[in-house]
Homo-oligomer: A and B are copies of this chain.
Amino acid sequence: MENYLAFIMAGGGGTRFWPKSRKKTPKQFLPIVGDSPLISQTVERLCSFAERDNVFIITNEIQKPGTIERVKLQEVNVIAEPFGRNTAPCVGLAAIIAQVKSGDDTVVGIFPADHYITPVEEFDKTVEQAVLLAEKSDSIVTIGIKPSHPATGYGYIQHGDTVDGCKVNSYKVKRFTEKPDIDTAKNFLEGGGYSWNAGMFFFKAGVVLNELKNQQPKIYNLLQEFKNSIGKADEADKLCEVYEKMPSISFDYAIMEHATSVHVVEATFNWDDVGSWAAVSRHEKMDENGNCIKGDAIIVDSKNNTVESEKTVALVGVENLVVVDTGDAILVCSKDNCENVKEVVEILKKEKREELL
């Protein structure tokens, strides 16, 4: 589709995938699920609907070279933020680039780099609906995921009035609720009319720039300062100059909470944010005992384990474990505690063990 630009936000670390994920090989560089790095899968998925030259990645300086290696995009489409300033400046940067490239009415799609989504046909169908709605309604459109359980780790979107004439179920957004407690989450599920926020946004460049102008004038003004350098020799220097002054604030908090008009399109695709090692076995092949093995394993009386190793791993009488070996470190984790792998990284940081970070 022309006049549509897709931006992938790819600056995360994914410390819950230690020891595979490291500073220089963050989660999106790894084929955690599937055969290629998550970032490559994301780019190829987006290229099904967007033109390849219109797919961009916003990452950071450290990850830029590794990103370029892993994706089939022109180098110029991989942009490095000079400083991490949370998501609002990043979305603003996407909007201003889109505006300069093809005007206020260009539709911008914002996507996480490291989610697992199938099938691509349904993804395209949902995205097309979101793009059309963003174009038609001058609103910010999100994609909502049908909740499968009362998760407390996601934001929830409450549906308002149905938007008529849409091929995919679409609603006005009544309210956003960030990571609710378990009772609230249960109530949402029982009552119905809620989606998970998957962190995907669609809007006309002019619409979000206008929201920034009203709600976050500091970000807006810095983007205006940068605007004239886009595509010029001083682009990188100017970006550095304005980013240093950028407030660090999330797009949800800075814009979404008080945005003039917000819609949600209900995803028709399968979605997994691959939040921890526990996600792997949901998508990979398993043996008859539910063991999911990448590498060589010898299994005695063991079930429902996930193993990822270049060397031989023997499991004897164990259940529900994740075992990951990277040559320099080994993780043995209960599947019910995969979230806490990030605590290992915290300890390594405290102990300044750079070689394992």
A: residues with CB less than 8 A from B are 18-19, 298, 300-301, 309, 311-318, 321, 323, 325, 327-334, 336-338, 340-341, 343-344, 347-348, 353, 356
When the two chains form their complex, are residues B337 and A317 in contact, meaning their CB atoms are under 8 A apart?
A: yes
Q: Beyond A18-B314, A312-B356, A316-B341: 12 further Cβ-contacts under 8 Å?
A: A298-B344, A300-B340, A300-B343, A311-B327, A311-B328, A313-B329, A313-B331, A314-B341, A314-B344, A316-B331, A317-B337, A325-B330
Which 6 pairs, one residue from A and one from B, show the smallest C-beta to C-beta distance?
A317-B337, A317-B334, A316-B333, A314-B344, A312-B329, A313-B330
Cβ contact of A317, chosen from B19, B330, B340, cutoff 8 A: B340
When the two chains form their complex, are residues A318 and B344 in contact, meaning their CB atoms are under 8 A apart?
A: no
Name the distance in Å between A349's Cβ and chain B's nearest Cβ.
Answer: 11
Name the distance in Å between A311's Cβ and chain B's nearest Cβ.
Answer: 6
When the two chains form their complex, are residues A332 and B312 in contact, meaning their CB atoms are under 8 A apart?
A: no
Could you tell me the distance between the alpha carbons of A353 and B300 in the complex, rounded to whole angstroms? 17
Cβ contact of A316, chosen from B298, B332, B353, cutoff 8 A: B332
Cβ contact of A330, chosen from B311, B318, B333, cutoff 8 A: B311
Name the distance in Å between A162's Cβ and chain B's nearest Cβ.
Answer: 43
Closest chain B residue to A331 by CB distance? B314
What are 13 inter-chain pairs, A to B, with CB distance below 8 A? A301-B337, A311-B330, A312-B330, A313-B329, A314-B330, A314-B331, A316-B337, A316-B338, A317-B336, A317-B337, A318-B321, A318-B332, A321-B332
Could you tell me the distance between the alpha carbons of A15 and B215 in the complex, rounded to whole angstroms? 69
| Chain B residues within 8 Å of A337, by CB | 300-301, 316-318
When the two chains form their complex, are residues A332 and B336 in contact, meaning their CB atoms are under 8 A apart?
A: no
When the two chains form their complex, are residues B298 and A340 in contact, meaning their CB atoms are under 8 A apart?
A: no
Q: Beyond A298-B347, A347-B298, A348-B298, is A314–B340 a contact (Cβ under 8 Å)?
A: no
When the two chains form their complex, are residues B323 and A330 in contact, meaning their CB atoms are under 8 A apart?
A: yes
Cβ contact of A328, chosen from B298, B312, B317, cutoff 8 A: B312
Name the distance in Å between A294's Cβ and chain B's nearest Cβ.
Answer: 14
Could you tell me the distance between the alpha carbons of A341 and B315 in the complex, rounded to whole angstroms? 9
| Chain B residues within 8 Å of A312, by CB | 328-330, 353, 356
| Chain B residues within 8 Å of A334, by CB | 316-318
| Chain B residues within 8 Å of A329, by CB | 311-314
Could you tell me the distance between the alpha carbons of A297 and B314 in the complex, rounded to whole angstroms? 19
Name the distance in Å between A35's Cβ and chain B's nearest Cβ.
Answer: 24
Could you tell me the distance between the alpha carbons of A336 and B328 in the complex, rounded to whole angstroms? 28
| Chain B residues within 8 Å of A317, by CB | 333-334, 336-337, 340
Name the distance in Å between A280's Cβ and chain B's nearest Cβ.
Answer: 15
Could you tell me the distance between the alpha carbons of A340 and B300 in the complex, rounded to whole angstroms? 8
Name the distance in Å between A336's Cβ and chain B's nearest Cβ.
Answer: 6
Could you tell me the distance between the alpha carbons of A327 and B336 in the complex, rounded to whole angstroms? 28
When the two chains form their complex, are residues A344 and B300 in contact, meaning their CB atoms are under 8 A apart?
A: yes
Name the distance in Å between A239's Cβ and chain B's nearest Cβ.
Answer: 38
Name the distance in Å between A200's Cβ and chain B's nearest Cβ.
Answer: 30
Name the distance in Å between A333's Cβ and chain B's nearest Cβ.
Answer: 4
Name the distance in Å between A29's Cβ and chain B's nearest Cβ.
Answer: 20
Closest chain B residue to A323 by CB distance? B332
Cβ contact of A19, chosen from B301, B314, B356, cutoff 8 A: B314
| Chain B residues within 8 Å of A348, by CB | 298
